[in-house]
Amino acid sequence: MPALLEIDNLVIEAAGGGASPAPVINGVSLQLDAGEVLALIGESGSGKTTLALSTLGYAKPGLEFRAGEVRLNGDDILAMPADEKRRLRGQRVSYLAQSAAAAFNPALRIGAQVTEASVLHGQLSQTEADRRATDLYRALGLPDPDHLGRRYPHQVSGGQLQRLMAAMALCGKPDLLVLDEPTTALDVTTQIEVLKAFKDVIRQEGAAALYVTHDLSIVAQIADRIVVLYAGEVEEYGTVDDILNRPQHRYTRQLIGAVRPPPDSTLRPESLEETRQDVPALEVKDLTAGYGRKHASGHTVKVLRDVHVAVGQGRSLGVIGESGCGKSTLARVISGLLPAMQGDVLLKGQPLKPSLRQRERRQLQKIQFVFQMADNALNPHQRVDQLLGRPLEFYFGLSGEEKRQRITELLHMVELPAEFSERYPEELSGGQKQRVNLARALAASPEILLCDEVISALDTIIGASIIQLLKRLREQTDVSFVFISHDLSAIASFADDIAVLYAGLVVEQGPANRVLAPPYHPYTRLLIASVPELSQGWLERTLEMRETQASIDRAVEITDRGCPFYRRCPLAIAGTCNQEAPPLRNLGHGHSITCHRSEAEL
Amino acid sequence: MSTPVNNPTGESGQTGAISEEQPRRSLKFSGAGKTGIVVILFWITMVFIGPWVAPFHEAEFLDEALFIEPGLDDPYPATDFLPPGDVAYLGTDYLGRDTLSRLLYGARTTIGVSLLSTLLAYLIGITLGIAAAAGGRVLDSSLSRLNDAVLSMPTIMLGMVVISAYGSTLPVLIALTSLIYASSVFRIARAFGLDIMVSDFVDAARVRGEGLGWIIRREVLPGMILPMASDFGLRFVYIILFLSGLSFLGLGVQPPQSDWGSMVRENLAGLPYGAIAPLIPALAIASLTVAINLVVDDISAHHGGKLAEKII
Amino acid sequence: MLIRAVLHRIATGLVTLVVVSVLIFLGTSVLPGDVASIILGQMATPESLAALRSTLGLDQPAYVRYFLWLGDLLSGDLGVSKAGAGAGTGGTSISEMIAPRLINTVQLAGAVALIAVPLSLGLGLAAATYPGTRLDRSITLSTLGLVSVPEFLVATALVLVIAVYLGWLPATAYVSGTETGMALLKTLALPTLTLVIVASSQIIRMTRASVLNVMSSPYIEMAVLKGLPRRRIVLHHALPNAVGPIVNVIALNLAYLISGVVIVETIFAYPGLAKLMVDAVQTRDLPLVQACAMIFCSAYILLVFIADLASILSNPRLRYPQ
């Protein structure tokens, strides 16, 4: 009996032919049996999405099939006429896109989109399809399954929409499900529940699945076998156990090596608190900030509430939280881009003026900002030497040979060759742009470096190399870092101190080894539990925890009264936590938790 | 970590491939775009040398003697609305003047006045547009409101109202046209400016402590030049059409000065008799405007078509 | 949310109308030499000027005159024209002059809208459904040509071919008001055809562009991967999302017809409102110019308002808030 899906020597190239560069997919072969989940793993540009789409007989505009076969139950998909391909899609093979928010048509009701394909293909009547959709909503753990179909996409949350897309894909009972990075765009806490829903429904429906992702820890939870794709070729192919525990190829090993270890307090040496100076390099005191009019009451949204954090000389402070918790706002307030409503930013004990314009050039020079998206942070019309040269001119009046020499030094510091000074940003790769972005901040010879999600847009391996670079800079220089990220394992591997931010409130902070060890704030525990681990069975284990149970289907909400985490907290005390602001509990060694519960309870 | 240059799987290893695959894109013109460039260059040349290459003076009534045909015994042949022939290559107009010569003379007025108006519209529009984008909320909203009011009147209405009051002298025409079209330039310049002002690289410059002037000169303007260049082409086309329309209505350039729009108007009487005199100057306008549009199309395709969305 | 958006839109429409009336009033009234001296011309004596000024209310300050003018306008009194005015008399009533002309122009514009809108929607959607085909290429190329040529080229070329060489239709469109049936149709045919061509090309291009713009969204790719046929994707998935921009384009182009109408009425000697206004501008009949401009601008603002309303109503985010 043939396998459900067989791909034979598939070659996909840029359309047009001629003197074409390397093919996007270069002679890939693989097999998938019924009921099996095969993970397709690779970094951006490895061709994994292109390969996945070929199982629907579809090539993105600009690409074309050049050679090879894709067979589903023995039928060659690529040889099918257009009409037959159309009948195949949505009926025998269906596709789940990375961003459900973009893949749902905003102008049509959800139910109509979920059932459309199976009704149009003549598989089900509209009534049958509606009933099947409702069953799927229930199976996927969606709220109010009977009326969900009447709603529009903008009326449900991102995590729910992602699960609704699974319903859309499964409605026609396909033989093969293609999932393209379906949880990448979600927050870690949401990712768990969506992943679990996918896993259960795939098992329940008995469909085979092709799961495309860049994240090995996800693969470990859901897949039976793994294909590692590199530059359009299969690098390694085997069971999950084989690949994770006995990787053969260099690239696979590198990939596994780049997976950051789960945050664990024992990995970090006890930091020497005695060495702390009296005056921190940077201190933020009782800071409240937000958007909207400053004095008109009621119209303001307070994104940060009474935040108090400090960074010691030469140390690094990690700021962690989900999206919408105020992390970037904190960086913008420190830099002066967003003047604070209340509170102070102190540089070596000296209070800074809230707004950029009032600060002195010397003060500005000492705090440098490294923006999240290097693509957007580097002006595409300036060459690298202009980008790096400007701060040198501006702060230190350098010019000519002196300036050129310093630019070369800076490029060397971020491990780029000196010739790069002639290039424009669009001639650099993502990681190189981020290095230039970093070099520009270093050009000012700062005392504080604000790094806002500097690795979140990068591939795992490249992100890991940027962290390596930052670690080296921290060792070689006396710069203090504020490292903002939503990725707890990245923070754990870099930061000396950690501040956990939830809905604008610092719920826990202290030395990394203290924050990452009990007692935990319930939110910290949730974050730690949500970081995917590179081991099979982690998903089930973590879902049994009360923290993950309690937070399912709840988003970050900014509240004015009580504890903002109240609605997601397994330890919430009704009547207290939703009414009174939680007290700050000092646990010694610079470790503090903001919670109504006592140290023993936590 | 090994040095990046020798690291085949790190991002640095891709540098060679990337710089080969994505050289800085240079603008390439299609066949239609190249034809457009030739036509535009031709008319620009005529602005300078038109009167010297024209066979007759623009105001010269052609002598009947020129048209006496040897075989026919007609000593006084008609000289008006003649079809193209050996003497008048493009025929004659309602007064018996050479259409080709008038066309070559008229290029100077039509193109010159339009170009001057477009330049002025750009000067005003871009200055105010950037001021609105960079100058804070109060300035932005008051400028935008005023602009919306101007844009909420059909251009030809605004033109007619002002001309009825001030008459149609050249300074009035140029001031009127540039003010009307400055409002569209303002809208686009503001949109581009706002886009750039919220980008991280502008924030980066602000955090560095750069002044507003430097940011506008070095960070904002360079990003606006190419997109605005193709908008300049479109705006130029609209202005040519607008001014020709006014001339055609008798509200634009006044005699004895001639331009293409008024040439259409003055020869309209010949139309029911099949004279092509009104058609020729109309075609001349079309040749220029279509040519500009073809070039603009190429430039905006170079921007992946995103430009067109913004300009419309 | 929806009601608030609609109310907000109505309010801005009204404000715009007021601002435009101020602009029109300023453009024509704050000038050296007033209507009285224009009306009386050479034979003006200081006494007769003063007399006419006080009958016309010109001795009042500008803002008082503006409110008087606006009040008259709102009560349907458009003032008096210079035409037929002599010393001491007020001249012809503008309302009476405008009424028959307005009917003619509405007739012409209505005929154009009835033909141009369905025609250009059909062609625009056809081009967007099959992009890159010969059909699409010929539509795109010819409309690109047509939008960049002056209206009077289209008109003169049509007259030369259809009226002069083929002799099918009259070259001018003078209507006396007595024509009926076939005769009226023939008279209107060429002006209508000219305006249809001018207005459609822009609508076709923009319809195609808006639909294609939507067609590049991820949810359209999703629809393709669900195995839907192309026609269903365009009509059922892309069109609902393009309604807002398309209605906007139609409204703007119908409004843009105003300048086309001015030209076409002049070429074909069609006795419409626009021709009246052009003549008024040439004779510097300011009250008449003001009145005509106010009518045209109101029509324009109304069209844009309707378009905005349509795009507000077609947005499910506003119809069904979270």
Condensed to tens digits (0 to 9), the pLDDT of residues C241-281 reads: 888 878 877 887 777 777 788 888 888 888 888 888 888 88
CB of C252 within 8 Å of a chain B CB? The answer is: no
CB of C144 within 8 Å of a chain B CB? The answer is: yes
Q: Are residues A178 and A210 in the same domain?
A: yes
> Measuring CA to CA, which residue among A492, A528, A530, A483 is closest to residue A512?
A492
Nearest chain C Cα distance for residue B214, angstroms: 36
Domain end call among A258, A287, A319? A258
Strands A342-347 and A350-351, by their bridges, are antiparallel
What pLDDT shows up at residue A405? 94
Q: Are residues A242 and A289 in the same domain?
A: no
The answer to whether B92 and B99 have CB atoms below 8 angstroms apart is yes
What pLDDT shows up at residue B1? 33
Q: Are residues A55 and A30 in the same domain?
A: yes
Q: What CATH number matches the domain at B91-311, 3.40.640.10, 1.10.1740.10, 1.10.3720.10, 3.40.50.970?
A: 1.10.3720.10
Nearest chain A Cα distance for residue B225, angstroms: 11
Question: For chain B, what is the mean pLDDT?
Answer: 79
Cβ–Cβ of B222/A373 closer than 8 Å?
Answer: no
Q: Which residues of B touch A462 (CB under 8 A)?
A: 10-11
The answer to whether C81 and C289 have CB atoms below 8 angstroms apart is no
Instruction: Report the C-alpha gap between B151 and A89 in whole angstroms.
Output: 48
What sign does the CA torsion over A15, A18, A21, A25 have? positive
The answer to whether C8 and C308 have CB atoms below 8 angstroms apart is no
Cβ–Cβ of A431/B223 closer than 8 Å?
Answer: no
Tell which phi-psi region holds residue C227, choosing left (phi > 0), alpha (psi between -120 and 50) or beta.
left
A599 assigned to some structural domain: no
Strands A5-14 and A25-32, by their bridges, are antiparallel
Among A84-88, B214-218, C28-32, C114-118, which stretch is predicted with the lowest mean pLDDT?
Answer: C28-32
Cβ–Cβ of B165/C262 closer than 8 Å?
Answer: no
Q: Which residues of C touch A53 (CB under 8 A)?
A: 225
DSSP letter at C234 equals I
Q: In which residue ranges of chain A is pLDDT below 70?
A: 1-2, 16-21, 260-278, 292-300, 552-555
DSSP string, C80-141: B-STT--TT----BHHHHHHHHHHHHHHHHHHHHHHHHHHHHHHHHHHHHSTTSHHHHHHHH
Bridge partner residues of A450 (DSSP)? A369, A482
- Domain hosting A576: range is 265-594
Q: Which residues of C touch B154 (CB under 8 A)?
A: 255-256, 258-259, 296-297, 300
Q: In which residue ranges of chain B is pLDDT below 50?
A: 1-24, 305-312
Helix (H, G, I), strand (E, B) or coil at A471: helix
> One-letter amino acid identity for B256?
P
What pLDDT shows up at residue B306? 42
Domain ranges of chain B: 91-311
Q: E-assigned strands of A259-359?
A: 282-291, 301-311, 316-320, 342-347, 350-351
pLDDT > 50? residue C118: yes
pLDDT in tens, A145-155: 888 889 998 88
Mutation target among A334, A381, A438 for the B interface, most CBs of B within 10 A: A381
A274 assigned to some structural domain: yes
What pLDDT shows up at residue A20? 55
Cβ–Cβ of A444/B207 closer than 8 Å?
Answer: no
Cβ–Cβ of B207/A359 closer than 8 Å?
Answer: no
Q: Are residues A254 and A273 in the same domain?
A: no
Cβ–Cβ of A468/B1 closer than 8 Å?
Answer: yes
Cβ–Cβ of B154/C255 closer than 8 Å?
Answer: yes
Please tell me which of the candidates A395, A416, A427 has its beta carbon nearest to residue B4: A416
Query: From the CA atom positions of chain A, what is the Rg in Å?
Result: 26
Q: Are residues A128 and A149 in the same domain?
A: yes
What sign does the CA torsion over A300, A301, A306, A312 have? negative
Mutation target among A13, A250, A335, A379 for the B interface, most CBs of B within 10 A: A379
Nearest chain C Cα distance for residue B44, angstroms: 18
Q: Are residues A238 and A369 in the same domain?
A: no
Q: What share of chain C is helix, strand, coil (3-state, %, to 5)?
A: 75, 0, 20
Q: What share of chain B is helix, strand, coil (3-state, %, to 5)?
A: 70, 0, 30
What pLDDT shows up at residue C88? 43
Bridge partner residues of A38 (DSSP)? A210, A225
Q: How many CB atoms lie within 10 A of CB C84?
A: 12
DSSP string, A515-581: HTSSS--HHHHHHHHHS--SSTTHHHHHHTSHHHHHHTT------SSS-TTGGG-TT--TTTTTTSP
Nearest chain A Cα distance for residue B197, angstroms: 12
> One-letter amino acid identity for A401?
E
Query: Which one of A168-177, A289-298, C25-34, C62-71 scores highest in mean pLDDT?
Result: A168-177
Cβ–Cβ of C314/A107 closer than 8 Å?
Answer: yes
CB of A95 within 8 Å of a chain C CB? The answer is: yes
Instruction: Report the C-alpha gap between A66 and A421 in whole angstroms.
Output: 39
Tell which phi-psi region holds residue C98, choosing left (phi > 0), alpha (psi between -120 and 50) or beta.
alpha
Cβ–Cβ of C224/A58 closer than 8 Å?
Answer: yes
> Measuring CA to CA, which residue among C299, C274, C292, C290 is closest to residue C113?
C299
Q: How many CA atoms lie within 13 A of A551 on its CB side?
A: 32
Mutation target among C214, C219, C318 for the A interface, most CBs of A within 10 A: C219
A602 assigned to some structural domain: no
Instruction: Report the C-alpha gap between A235 and A243 in whole angstroms.
Output: 11
Nearest chain B Cα distance for residue A135, angstroms: 43
Q: Which residues of B touch A442 (CB under 8 A)?
A: none
Q: Are residues A488 and A379 in the same domain?
A: yes
Token duo for residue A61: 């505009």
Contacts across the A-B interface (CB distance below 8 Å): 97
- For residue A54, the domain's CATH number is 3.40.50.300
Cβ–Cβ of B293/C144 closer than 8 Å?
Answer: yes
What pLDDT shows up at residue C36? 61
B neighbour chains, 3+ CB pairs within 8 Å: A, C
Angle at B17 between CA B12 and CA B23, to 5 degrees: 110
Contacts across the A-C interface (CB distance below 8 Å): 74
> One-letter amino acid identity for A288?
T
Q: Are residues A403 and A443 in the same domain?
A: yes
Instruction: Report the C-alpha gap between B16 and B13 in whole angstroms.
Output: 7
Q: Are residues A472 and A389 in the same domain?
A: yes
Cβ–Cβ of C227/A86 closer than 8 Å?
Answer: yes
Cβ–Cβ of B11/A440 closer than 8 Å?
Answer: no
pLDDT band, very low/low/confident/very high, at C142 (cuts 50, 70, 90): confident
Contacts across the B-C interface (CB distance below 8 Å): 150
Q: What is the pTM of this model?
A: 0.80
What pLDDT shows up at residue A533? 81
pLDDT band, very low/low/confident/very high, at C115 (cuts 50, 70, 90): very high
From residue C146, how far is each of B154, B289, C122 by CA, in Å? 20, 10, 18
The total number of structural domains in chain A stands at 2
Nearest chain B Cα distance for residue A12, angstroms: 17
The answer to whether C275 and C265 have CB atoms below 8 angstroms apart is yes
Q: Pick the more confident residue, C186 or A553.
A: C186
Instruction: Report the C-alpha gap between B305 and A431 in whole angstroms.
Output: 28
> Measuring CA to CA, which residue among B88, B25, B28, B90 is closest to residue B60?
B88
The answer to whether B46 and B107 have CB atoms below 8 angstroms apart is yes
Token duo for residue A572: 């919430």
The answer to whether B295 and C153 have CB atoms below 8 angstroms apart is no
The answer to whether C119 and C198 have CB atoms below 8 angstroms apart is no
> Measuring CA to CA, which residue among A167, A91, A92 is closest to residue A130?
A167
Cβ–Cβ of B309/C213 closer than 8 Å?
Answer: yes
Q: Which residues of A touch B208 (CB under 8 A)?
A: 364, 390-391, 394-395, 444
Residue A333's contacts (CB-CB under 8 Å, 6 or more residues apart) are A284, A287, A289, A304, A339, A340, A345, A354
Please tell me which of the candidates B4, B201, B222 has its beta carbon nearest to residue A415: B4
End-to-end CA distance of chain C: 10
The answer to whether C318 and C1 have CB atoms below 8 angstroms apart is yes
Mutation target among A20, A235, A367, A429 for the B interface, most CBs of B within 10 A: A429
CB of B217 within 8 Å of a chain A CB? The answer is: no
Please tell me which of the candidates B11, B18, B200 has its beta carbon nearest to residue A373: B200
What sign does the CA torsion over A416, A422, A423, A424 have? positive
A601 assigned to some structural domain: no
DSSP string, A136-153: HHHHTT-SSTTTGGGS-G
Quickly tell me which residue has 């789409």 as its tokens.
A53
Q: How many CB atoms lie within 10 A of CB A538?
A: 18
Q: How many CB atoms lie within 10 A of CB A449?
A: 24
Q: Are residues A414 and A298 in the same domain?
A: yes
Element (H, E) at A423: none
Domain end call among A236, A258, A280? A258
From residue C179, how far is each of A372, B41, C107, C175, C265 by CA, in Å? 72, 50, 13, 7, 17
Cβ–Cβ of C225/A121 closer than 8 Å?
Answer: no
What pLDDT shows up at residue C175? 61
DSSP string, A172-188: T--SEEEEESTTTTS-H
Q: Are residues A84 and A104 in the same domain?
A: yes
What pLDDT shows up at residue A266? 58
Q: Are residues A438 and A587 in the same domain?
A: yes
Long-range Cβ pairs for the range B168-171 (8 Å, 24+): B168/B246, B168/B251, B168/B252, B168/B253, B168/B254, B169/B254, B170/B113, B170/B253
- Percent of chain A predicted with pLDDT > 90: 23
Nearest CA in chain A to C222: A103
Helix (H, G, I), strand (E, B) or coil at B201: helix
**C-alpha of A470 from chain center:** 19
Instruction: Report the C-alpha gap between A159 and A142 in whole angstroms.
Output: 10
